[in-house]
Structure 1
Amino acid sequence: RRRGYGWVLRLGRGSRMISRATQDLFAVMKAQDAAYGFRLMGCEMVRRADFFRLIQRALLQQGIQPRWLLDGCVQRVSVFDYHRENCGVDGMLPGVFQADFFIGNVTFFTQPAVVRFLDLVVDQSGAIWRFNWHEGFWHTAVARIFAPRNRVMHFDDWTHEIAAAHPSVDRPASDEPI
């Protein structure tokens, strides 16, 4: 943000756009006052309950009330309802934004509350590296915790492909706290 950037776009290695976008994606994001835009989402395996506990702990420690993080959960009363048995199916977490293509609003991601949250769940915990919880989990959490739903854009008028040459290595499952 200090360098004057308003947006960041990622088209990951192994990803490609198959068809042309019919509009200026940045102009659309700006016109909608969007915080985050993505093309694909999917179900991702969460083998460790710690992922949910880590998010819960950060929300509770920082006094954050998530906006629509719990929308995919069966019970949605409080942050304590965000757990593997309530918010997924057979260890799968649905609706994870695929971060191989995204556009992020730099001002949104550099808000003090977002920076503090990411510092705790990514940098301090080290979980993203220790458990191979890819950035899509964190993008999804940040967008659903801090951005109103109408500020998250799902682009669906062009085609994008992700190619993964080397699947992730399984880590042992554990319900031990981080």
Structure 2
Amino acid sequence: MFRLISSICVSVLLTISLSLPVYAHGQTSHAGSKSGPLIVNLHLKKTFIDGVQIQNTVKKKVMSMEDLWTTYSDWQLVDQRKGNVYFKKKVDDLSPVSKAVGILGLSDNETLTLYKGNPDDQTIIQTFYQIDTKELQVNMRKQLKEGIRIKNKQDFKHVLKKLQQYAQSS
């Protein structure tokens, strides 16, 4: 009986200690005590208007969780567990890759597609919707076959809005 109780106590203590924050010098904090800066793994996920997601994970030393919430107040908390904090953020802009080399074009099945570089290389960033190319003006069809360079959010939204009227309904 004593072994069973000892086993349960050790198990409970181990579970409690695993859920406590880890501080810079290896100390753990019990509710209400302050033992120094807290080390957390931050998982930061950005989603851009072109559908690209960028995730970074960094170790961060913070004096308190309140400081962390203040620093990342424009991010949405997704999860927090065992020294890991997960945030996400929607960015109302093109991703860095699309700004650098993004080209809108048509795939082989006439789907409006954002490519990383030359559409012939078939490196797809994001697909959108099928275009009724029979309805397109010859000049626009030619531009899409060659690819339309997208350098900023305004270019991106302008082309998507212009082509939305040619989207095939499912």
Give me the TM-score of the superposition, normalised by structure 1.
0.20
Higher strand residue share: 2
Give me the TM-score of the superposition, normalised by structure 2.
0.20
Q: Point out the structure with max Rg over C-alpha.
A: 2
Higher relative contact order (CA 8 A, sep 6+): 1
Higher helix residue share: 1
